[in-house]
Amino acid sequence: MIMGPLGGWSMRKVDSLWDGKIKPGFEMLVNNFAAGIWGMVLTILGFVVMSPVVTWIADRLGEGVDILVDNSLLPFTSVIIEPAKVLFLNNALNHGVLTPLGTTEAAESGKSVLFLLEANPAAGAGLLLAYMMFGKGLAKASAPGALLIHFVGGIHEIYFPYVLMKPKLILAMIAGGFTQILVNVIFSSGLRAPAAPGSILAVYAQTPGDSVLGVTLSVLAGAAATFAVAAILLKMDKTEEADDELVGATAHMESLKGKSSSVASVLTGGAAVMTRPIHRIVFACDAGMGSSAMGASVLRKKIEAAGYSDVTVVNQAIGNLTDEYDVIVCHQDLADRAAQRTPSATLVAVDNFMASPRYDEIVQMVGASRG
């Protein structure tokens, strides 16, 4: 949880030490050796220094959850969980605390309510239903599609911009979260294992027979509670709502996430809008060497000549791509494969890595993204 972001940030700092100073064709050699050596250093650091700290924090949080369970106060965790979800802190809480504790409990009793604290889609469904009924403009129009993605697809981040647009709606989310947890506690319901993603289908797939009623009632009650509170807040809100509020909230969500959202186009009407400047460009080919390395070198010189010194241009094997880049350049025959691995990036397909007129278009794209 900690070493991942630190590792990525520090690796970029290490790469910047010789960025643009390596002769074309040797980038892969230097970068691979640097990544291996620095990765070993971070591994040792994480094992010796960070592991005891993280273990201590997890133990204290676990004790806190035990206190809440023993005193029937578990529903109050929604006060922490619901704001944490919107701020993209839920993974640290879920995977660092709830899932390990829930796994231990499920191994002993066959199920755990802790798996339902964060994954239950009830509160988000209630919010989006309220927007469908009482929202305005683009928020109202996009809510049905967002509801399907959230409730069935299990991608909860789709509703985050609706809360960021009107922060007072976090009260509705807390009300729904509190209600669904309370119902599950009353009925002693739980899941056999984590529901991932947080789709209603995944939830029922992990629900044992004696918890079906409790889980069903928790979804209905949680959604109803959020809907009721959100409906009141939306009806009381007399401010004019411009369509660009949702677009701006979506951009804010992506800034909190640290990268583009794969479902953002549903909220922005499908418009391909750059919500932040381009900083990372990757060339991809089958092996991640040879032609892509030379193409990256050509574009890197053009980017530097245009004065965009903060833009990194790297090359990568298509099989090793991760969805962390702003722009991906690949041969036109590999476009479909690249799009599947980097759905958030802008795809530029070329037929010649060494002399493509599209490189000038990319430089112009970088400039436009700064506007």
Q: Are 330 and 338 in contact (CB under 8 A)?
A: yes
In the structure encoding, which two tokens stand for residue 207, read together? Answer: 């629900």
Radius of gyration (Cα) for the chain, nearest Å?
23
Is 35 in contact with 301 (CB distance < 8 Å)? no
In DSSP notation, 254-293 reads HHHHTS--TTHHHHTTT-----S---EEEEEESSSSTHHH
Distance of CA 181 to the CA centre of its chain: 24
Q: Which sequence positions are flagged as catalytic? A: 285
Asked if 216 and 116 count as a contact pair (C-beta separation under 8 A), the reply is: no
The number of beta carbons lying within 10 Å of the beta carbon of residue 273 is 12
**DSSP, res 316:** E
* In the block, residue with structure tokens 């993280």: 54
346: β partners:
327
8 Å CB contact between 286 and 256: no
* Ramachandran category for residue 154: left, alpha or beta (phi over 0 → left; psi -120 to 50 → alpha): left
Residue 309 and residue 290 in contact, taking contact as beta carbons nearer than 8 Å: no
**How are the residues of the chain apportioned to helix, strand and coil, as percentages rounded to the nearest 5?**
65, 5, 25
Helix (H, G, I), strand (E, B) or coil at 238: coil
Phi/psi for 346 (5° steps) reads -80, 125
Report how far residue 75's alpha carbon sits from residue 303's, in angstroms, rounded to the nearest whole number: 53
- What is the C-alpha separation between 233 and 126, in angstroms, rounded? 13
